[in-house]
C-alpha cells in the first residue's frame, strides 16, 4: 500500500520541506487574519486538516473518473461540500470559537493550500498517500500557525493561549509576562504578522543553510581557490 520511505517523504514534505506557510507561502489571508492568538490558529488549522484529508481522499478515489477539462470545478465542489460539513460541525460544537473565526471557516474553500494539494497531489496519487499528504500538509500549517499565533500573542499582549476557554471551558489563558506589560500592539496588527512570518521564513532558511553546510562539511572540504569572483 504505502512504503515507509514514501510515508517519510510525504511527512517531511508536509511538515518542513514544502511547508504551506513558510515555504509555499499559501493561504496568507487566514494566516494574517486568524493568528492573533495560538488557539485560533490551531483550531483553523485543525478544520483545514479535516478538509484536506477528506478532499484529498475523495479526489484521489475519483481521479480516474473526473474529466480533465473540468477538474477544477469538480474539485471545488468536493471541497465546498466538505467545508460545509466542517462549518456546520464547528457551529454546532464550538459555537463561540465559530463566531471568532467567522468567515475564515467557509473561506477554507478558497484556500489555495487545499486546491493546490488536490490538484498537484491527490489527482495523481492513490487515496492512501493522498490522505497522508493532506494530513501532513495540514500539520505543517498547524505548527506554523500555532507558532505565529503564540508569538503574536506573547509580544502583543503578554499572554499565551488566549481564548482557550472557548475550546475547553474551565481552562484559562496563561499570563506569561507581568500584568504591567504594555502590549506591543504592532504584533497584533497585520504588519506584525508579516514581519513575524518573515522572521520565521528567515529562521527556516537559516536552519536549512546550516544543515546543508553540515552535509557539505562531512567529506573533507576541497581547498578553496584564492581569487576573485
Partner 1 sequence: MMFAPAPFLLKDTSVSRVMTQVCLALVPGIAAYAWLVGPAILVQIVIATLTALFAEALVLKLRDKPLAMFLGDGSAIVTAWLIALTFPPLAPWWLVVTATAFAIIFAKHIYGGLGQNPFNPAMVAFAVGIVSFPALMSQWPQVGLQMPLSEQIGVIFGLVPRVDALSGATPLDALKTALKLGEGSFGVAQLLANQDIYGNFAGRGWEWVSVGYLLGGLWMWQRKLITWHVPAAFVGAMTVLAGSLWLYDPAQFASPLFHIFSGGSLLGAFFIATDPVSGCTTPRGKLIFGAGAGLLAYIIRVFGGYPDGIAFAVLLMNLSAPVIDLLTQPAIFGMKDKS
Nearer to partner 1, 68 or 217 (CB): 217
Bridge-partner residues for 81, per DSSP? none
What sign has the CA pseudo-torsion 61, 67, 68, 73?
Answer: negative
What sign has the CA pseudo-torsion 57, 68, 116, 81?
Answer: negative
Nearest approach, Cβ of residue 185 and partner 1 (Å): 4
CB atoms within 10 A of CB 211: 10
Nearest approach, Cβ of residue 77 and partner 1 (Å): 41
Which residues form the interface with partner 1 (CB under 8 A)? 182, 184-186, 189, 191, 195, 198
3-state helix, strand, coil in the chain (%, to 5): 70, 0, 25
| Cα angle for residues 184, 186, 187 (degrees, 5° grid) | 80
Nearer to partner 1, 50 or 187 (CB): 187
Is there a contact between 32 and 193 (Cβ–Cβ < 8 Å)? yes
Nearest approach, Cβ of residue 186 and partner 1 (Å): 4
Nearest approach, Cβ of residue 57 and partner 1 (Å): 42
Nearest approach, Cβ of residue 68 and partner 1 (Å): 43
Is there a contact between 11 and 132 (Cβ–Cβ < 8 Å)? yes
Nearest approach, Cβ of residue 183 and partner 1 (Å): 8
Nearer to partner 1, 171 or 185 (CB): 185
Nearer to partner 1, 142 or 187 (CB): 187
Nearer to partner 1, 73 or 198 (CB): 198
CA distance linking residue 220 with residue 118, whole number of Å: 44
Nearer to partner 1, 138 or 156 (CB): 156
Amino acid at each position: 500500500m504505502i512504503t515507509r520511505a514514501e510515508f517519510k517523504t510525504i511527512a517531511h514534505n508536509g511538515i518542513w520541506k514544502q511547508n504551506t506557510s513558510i515555504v509555499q507561502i499559501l493561504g496568507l489571508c487566514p494566516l494574517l487574519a486568524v493568528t492573533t492568538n495560538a488557539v485560533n490558529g490551531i483550531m483553523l488549522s485543525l478544520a483545514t486538516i479535516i478538509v484536506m484529508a477528506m478532499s484529498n481522499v475523495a479526489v484521489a478515489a475519483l481521479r480516474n473518473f473526473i474529466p480533465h477539462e473540468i477538474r477544477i470545478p469538480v474539485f471545488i465542489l468536493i471541497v465546498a461540500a466538505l467545508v460545509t460539513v466542517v462549518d456546520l460541525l464547528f457551529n454546532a460544537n464550538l459555537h463561540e470559537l465559530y463566531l471568532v473565526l467567522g468567515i475564515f471557516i467557509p473561506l477554507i474553500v478558497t484556500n489555495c493550500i487545499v486546491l493546490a494539494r488536490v490538484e498537484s497531489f491527490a489527482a495523481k496519487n492513490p487515496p492512501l498517500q493522498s490522505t497522508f499528504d493532506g494530513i501532513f500538509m495540514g500539520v505543517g500549517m498547524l505548527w506554523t500557525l500555532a507558532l505565529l499565533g503564540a508569538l503574536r500573542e506573547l509580544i502583543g499582549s503578554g499572554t499565551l493561549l488566549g481564548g482557550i476557554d472557548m475550546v475547553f471551558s474551565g481552562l484559562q489563558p496563561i499570563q506569561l509576562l507581568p500584568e504591567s506589560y504594555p502590549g506591543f500592539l504592532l504584533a497584533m496588527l497585520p504588519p506584525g504578522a508579516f514581519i513575524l512570518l518573515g522572521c520565521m521564513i528567515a529562521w527556516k532558511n537559516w536552519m536549512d543553510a546550516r544543515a546543508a553546510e553540515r552535509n557539505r562539511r562531512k567529506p573533507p572540504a576541497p581547498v578553496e581557490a584564492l581569487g576573485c569572483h
